[in-house]
Structure 1
């Protein structure tokens, strides 16, 4: 079950959309990079982004917010704090000390891997996966696999931006995807 935000008329959505900068040909030719750093420079738009997510997840019995390196680290912790959940960082290889689980994946412009501490998530915990953007869905799919291997129930994935032409939500194994802004090229 996938859904786009129902509150499309919410004036906060347009405020968020207008603060995201599109950088052509970054990090390589043909990529239209969605730059959320410009959103972070606007406290009201940044707060509105967090508030929309918190409004959705408050009271949903989520005990884990898993943020994907690096931009999931920006949005995940304030959401986790506001809903009373722990924050679990999903990191790039060799960034976490101690024993880790890992999951490899293909992304829009290459291959990568994410890792999580063994024991960070307990069997039966309800998890939310947070990142800034879904493109091909490789990163979110890897995060879902990693959390489920640890025994968590992934309730939903939440992203600020979706690039629907890349059909990333089709790779999420039927998990619900909540987004604030769609970006359609052209």
Structure 2
């Protein structure tokens, strides 16, 4: 199945000069969504990562990550923007091109030594995925890999990630 044909291009979003790759059109297509989740599960499972948990990055990473965790029969942990989680949190600050941001995860969500796979819809510069990796490693977990539906190769986000397997289904 051609997943690219299900991903919509939106020019000048969120600002002029940016070409946004919108996966909501893929998500609404039942066969496309099933194919994307099944394909990502097969590739990640085939990599022998033996993850115990998927950490999904807010917000589209929740959609992909939860479906993937279900398919692989492992747990799902959400990583959120500040102030969204109701219990004590671990947090990490990271730099964006226009300032700073922060990600949080519940302190009791993961135990040190847990094998974690980080999932999001898309990797661009790798900043958010890299920050999530730091958060996971700060807890003492073993980062076993990354999974994405889309990778924007020209932005070289892989270079900003730890040296673990990285799976992406569609490249631009």
TM-score interval, smaller chain: over 0.9
Segments ≥4 residues shifted beyond 6 Å: none
Alpha-carbon distance between aligned partners in 2 of 1:162 and 1:107, rounded to the nearest angstrom: 18
Quote the offset at 1:110 in angstroms: 5.1
Alpha-carbon distance between aligned partners in 1 of 2:126 and 2:96, rounded to the nearest angstrom: 7
Alpha-carbon distance between aligned partners in 1 of 2:31 and 2:109, rounded to the nearest angstrom: 32
- Provide the residue aligned with 2:155 in structure 1: 166
Q: Which residue of the other structure, out of 19, 42, 45, is the alignment partner of 1:32?
A: 19
Alpha-carbon distance between aligned partners in 1 of 2:164 and 2:95, rounded to the nearest angstrom: 18
Q: Is 1:72 aligned with 2:28?
A: no
Specify every segment of 5 or more residues in structure 2 that has no aligned partner in the other structure, as ranges.
none
Q: Give the conservation status (yes or no) of the 8 Å contact 1:148–1:154.
A: yes
Deviations 1:142-170 (A, max 9, x none): 01000011111111111111111111110
Specify every segment of 5 or more residues in structure 1 that has no aligned partner in the other structure, as ranges.
1-11
TM-score, normalising length: structure 1: 0.86
- Residue 6 of structure 2 aligns to a residue in which SS? coil
What is the Cα-based RMSD across aligned positions, in Å?
A: 1.4
Change beyond 3 A, Cα 1:108–1:75: farther
Quote the offset at 1:109 in angstroms: 5.8
